[in-house]
Amino acid sequence: MEPHNNDVNHNDEENDVENLGESDGREEEKWSSLSERNMSMRMPLLRKRTNTTSQIAVIGANACPIESLDYEMIENELFKQDWRGRKKVQIFQYVFLKWGLALLIGLTTGLIGFFNNIAVENISGFKLLLTNKLMLQGSYFKAFLAFAGLNITFAAAAGSLCAFLAPAAAGSGIPEVKAYLNGVDAPSILAPITLFVKIFGSVLGVSAGFVVGKEGPMVHTGACIANLLGQGGSRKWRSALLWRTFFTTAVVAIVLRSFIQYCWNGKCGLFGQGGLIMYDVSKEVSSYGSYDILAVIFLGVIGGVMGSFYNYLVDKVLRTYSVINEKGPSFRVLLVIIISVLTTCCAFGLPWLVSCTPCPTDSANECPTIGEIGHYKSFQCPSGSYNDLASLFLTTSDDAIRNLFSNTIIREFQMSSLFIFFVTIYFLGIVTYGIAVPAGLFIPVILAGSVYGRIVGRVFHSVSVLDTGLFSLLGAASFLGGTMRMTVSLCVILLELTNNLLLLPLVMIVLLISKSVADCFNRGVYDQIVKLKGLPYLEAHAEPYMKHLVAGDAVSGPLVTFSGLEKVETVVHALQSTGHNGFPVIGEPPFSDSPELCGLVLRSHLLVLLKAKYFSKERRLSGRDILKKFSPSDFAKPGTGKGLKLEDISLTEEDMEMWIDLHPITNASPYTVLETMSLAKAMILFRQLGLRHMCVVPKSQGRPPIVGILTRHDFMSEHILGLYPHMKQHK
């Protein structure tokens, strides 16, 4: 019965406290300067096992140190005074500020989102028109030079921005944001420079003709804006945000709408309708029979398989690229250029393989399209005919998707072209993600999915009454379900793309099928990337094996505690020698009748006291004086990467000899769990309340009042299964 055994050997470990000779030398000599009494108090549980999970993660394309966010309400004397003193006016100001902020964020995001769209449409539009024009003049080589030249220039620009200025801006950014919302903070991820690079890098990357989307980067951009305006701080992301989020969304929607209206009559160059709605089906209810359902199920199953295979390949590619990326910025840029060349060659080379298609006689739009970006690209084809593969490759991905979704022109594409396009996009998408360019995953997946769907639609054309365009929409859905697995949000996104509720049932079915199928093979692409990047993501549910362990089994040492009144030296020393962000404070006689847990003190708060040299010569309680010296705002969480550093604080010898009263800044009621509580249950508490430190207290009295501290890293399976390998069987 594990827990008991564990209780046993964990008692053994406690005994180590007495005979410190067993603790490793370094630690011992580090502490040898301090008195024996302090010692045993300071580490009731010096364990030889320490948490070896890395505190470093890959953000974008760079390895950065990561911190955990803390949603716990800090209850110390100082802050209590603050609540008491707070006036109605201040509360009102606060509320007003919050909403003003939401408004501002909405406006900015809407603005940037629009700028992003219009820039892409115009830059790549210009590129494509130029190429097209030269092709029409028959100067094919010039066309290629122009096309390749522009592509590679844009690519190199985007790559250099990312590689040299802000590696954190590479990739989609959704994994990082997801991890942030889960409580993992990487200073660089929401930094202003990242925002800047994300915006322009994304525009350049998409214009460079890469098989990448701008949706993921847009999500990251929004997060950066919110962070920049709100100056970070974990308090900003609370479930209470629902109203404000909704409000902000409304603002964004309105800003975009008004811009689109402004652009309606061609005021914005090549930026057409803004293209929010991709698949504009006619209202009439399309009825479907059993054959159609079968076709849809088939579509979903295969889509799921291919989606999960997509994830598998992305994972492999990312591992390969990480080796190159580590070699330095210039190598990253080189990689970007190589992929750009590859993409260019595919896009310009492959259309030569397919035969020309005669223009449809009945079509509304001119064929071949000359002036603007249209359906029918006459590539090398004689007039009166067009190259259907070029019409897919040599256009913006939005237009390509529109073409594929289009239900008007059923036979527009030859099967051969569709196949070539599918294979190319599928693999280009995979090799493109992971290079040092802001790259969204949605567009590649939707593109590949919609071609796949259109192919399936053709196959079932004889038996199914469903429209080919609808098939290609469902194909996109199946691929999205197979890679991303976030059924509900995908459903909403597709609803927004199609603006038709009547399709919802079919879309839902496809999403569920493909997700379920794909789940048999591997996890969603974002979860996979989060894991690969080494971000300590806390799952919503406890792993089964956690039920077989208790909280006491997961705590890892050395546990460093302070007494309520502590030598400055000891504090400084502890801050130097450990990276801990929270330290338990133990109340001792004469200030409490028996040793008891006063609470938890945060590194950042200690630094404020040290900086202000809030010391006293003799070992006495400071009482309420602190309220004269500090205002609660002095302890407020600083914006990302702006905290006090220990290095910035200079202390004299006699400072070191003085005493510091930790009581006023000690969070007197941290959340605690008994050492015998199952790890599963403890983890649920930790996750639900968004904690950073959780105190594990002993079950029986008469022992040191704290057993250890659990942090996010202590719940990571690599840590736990490292300690208890035999638990793998329960995984």
> Contacts with a copy of itself in 520-559 (CB under 8 A)?
540-541, 544, 547-548, 550
Which residue, 164 or 671, is less far from a copy of itself as judged by CB? Answer: 671
Work out which of 95, 97, 145, 253 binds a copy of itself, going by CB under 8 A.
253
Q: Quick one: which segment of 28-36, 398-406, 634-642, 700-708 binds a copy of itself (CB under 8 A)?
A: 700-708
671 counts as binding a copy of itself under rule CB under 8 A: yes
Q: How many C-beta atoms surround the C-beta of residue 276 within 10 A?
A: 13
Q: Which residue reads 């993501």 in tokens?
A: 537
673 counts as binding a copy of itself under rule CB under 8 A: yes
Identity of residue 456: V
Which residue, 581 or 669, is less far from a copy of itself as judged by CB? Answer: 669
Which residue, 38 or 676, is less far from a copy of itself as judged by CB? Answer: 676
512 counts as binding a copy of itself under rule CB under 8 A: yes
Work out which of 362, 593, 618, 647 binds a copy of itself, going by CB under 8 A.
593
489 counts as binding a copy of itself under rule CB under 8 A: no
Q: Which residue reads 């003709």 in tokens?
A: 209
142 counts as binding a copy of itself under rule CB under 8 A: no
Work out which of 594, 612, 648, 728 binds a copy of itself, going by CB under 8 A.
594
- Minimum CB separation of residue 49 from a copy of itself in Å reads 23
596 counts as binding a copy of itself under rule CB under 8 A: yes
Q: What angle do CA 392, 435, 222 make, to 5 degrees?
A: 85
Q: Quick one: which segment of 171-179, 302-310, 610-618, 664-672 binds a copy of itself (CB under 8 A)?
A: 664-672
Cα(494)–Cα(512) distance, rounded to whole angstroms? 14
Which residue, 251 or 575, is less far from a copy of itself as judged by CB? Answer: 251
- Minimum CB separation of residue 405 from a copy of itself in Å reads 16
Q: Which residue reads 């941290």 in tokens?
A: 670
What tokens does 714 get?
A: 């202590």
Widest Cα–Cα separation across the chain: 98
Number of residues that bind a copy of itself (CB under 8 A): 71
Cα(586)–Cα(37) distance, rounded to whole angstroms? 13
Which residue, 85 or 192, is less far from a copy of itself as judged by CB? Answer: 85
- The three-state secondary structure class of 584 is strand
- Minimum CB separation of residue 245 from a copy of itself in Å reads 9
**Peptide bond before 351: cis, by omega within 30 degrees of 0?**
no
- Minimum CB separation of residue 278 from a copy of itself in Å reads 12
Which residue, 112 or 550, is less far from a copy of itself as judged by CB? Answer: 550
Work out which of 39, 165, 508, 538 binds a copy of itself, going by CB under 8 A.
508
Identity of residue 300: G
724 counts as binding a copy of itself under rule CB under 8 A: no
Residues within window 613-632 making contact with a copy of itself, judged by CB under 8 A: none
Question: From residue 45, how far is each of 11, 26, 386, 498, 705 by CA, in Å?
Answer: 10, 17, 77, 60, 11
Work out which of 501, 589, 590, 633 binds a copy of itself, going by CB under 8 A.
501
- The three-state secondary structure class of 393 is helix
Work out which of 94, 115, 264, 352 binds a copy of itself, going by CB under 8 A.
264
Q: Quick one: which segment of 439-447, 498-506, 603-611, 644-652 binds a copy of itself (CB under 8 A)?
A: 498-506
Which residue, 260 or 295, is less far from a copy of itself as judged by CB? Answer: 260
590 counts as binding a copy of itself under rule CB under 8 A: no
Q: Which residue reads 């199953």 in tokens?
A: 301
Which residue, 619 or 730, is less far from a copy of itself as judged by CB? Answer: 730
Question: Strand runs (DSSP E) across 152-202, as ranges?
Answer: 184-185
What tokens does 347 get?
A: 């896009």
Structural contact between residues 452 and 422, judged by C-beta atoms closer than 8 angstroms: yes
Which candidate, 60, 83, 285, places its Cα nearest to that of 177? Answer: 60
Dihedral sign from CA coordinates of 169, 173, 176, 180: positive
Q: What angle do CA 107, 109, 111 make, to 5 degrees?
A: 70
Q: Which residue reads 């470990």 in tokens?
A: 13
Which residue, 358 or 505, is less far from a copy of itself as judged by CB? Answer: 505
Identity of residue 98: K
Identity of residue 661: D
- Minimum CB separation of residue 602 from a copy of itself in Å reads 16
Residues within window 223-242 making contact with a copy of itself, judged by CB under 8 A: 239-240, 242
Work out which of 502, 612, 621, 636 binds a copy of itself, going by CB under 8 A.
502
Work out which of 19, 700, 725, 731 binds a copy of itself, going by CB under 8 A.
700
Which residue, 386 or 562, is less far from a copy of itself as judged by CB? Answer: 562
List of residues 6+ apart from 63 with CB closer than 8 A: 56, 57
Question: From residue 652, how far is each of 290, 609, 610, 615 by CA, in Å?
Answer: 84, 15, 12, 12
CA atoms within 13 A on the CB side of 684: 11
Write phi, then psi, for 724 (nearest 5 degrees): -125, 75
488 counts as binding a copy of itself under rule CB under 8 A: yes
Work out which of 592, 616, 622, 717 binds a copy of itself, going by CB under 8 A.
592
- Minimum CB separation of residue 247 from a copy of itself in Å reads 6
- Minimum CB separation of residue 696 from a copy of itself in Å reads 11
Q: Quick one: which segment of 188-196, 206-214, 507-515, 531-539 binds a copy of itself (CB under 8 A)?
A: 507-515
- Minimum CB separation of residue 625 from a copy of itself in Å reads 16
Work out which of 166, 189, 425, 677 binds a copy of itself, going by CB under 8 A.
677
Containing H/E element for 357? strand 357-358
List of residues 6+ apart from 58 with CB closer than 8 A: 64, 322, 532, 533, 534
Q: Quick one: which segment of 14-22, 361-369, 438-446, 500-508 binds a copy of itself (CB under 8 A)?
A: 500-508
Which residue, 334 or 668, is less far from a copy of itself as judged by CB? Answer: 668
Q: Pairing mode, if any, of strands 385-386 and 694-697?
A: unpaired
353 counts as binding a copy of itself under rule CB under 8 A: no
7 counts as binding a copy of itself under rule CB under 8 A: no
Dihedral sign from CA coordinates of 304, 306, 311, 316: positive
Which residue, 453 or 481, is less far from a copy of itself as judged by CB? Answer: 481
Measure the CA dihedral 191/192/193/199, to 10°: 110
95 counts as binding a copy of itself under rule CB under 8 A: no
Q: Pairing mode, if any, of strands 596-602 and 672-674?
A: unpaired
Which candidate, 28, 372, 25, 335, places its Cα nearest to that of 210? Answer: 335
Residues within window 75-94 making contact with a copy of itself, judged by CB under 8 A: 75, 80, 83-84
Residues pairing with 64 in the sheet: 57
Structural contact between residues 630 and 78, judged by C-beta atoms closer than 8 angstroms: yes
297 counts as binding a copy of itself under rule CB under 8 A: no
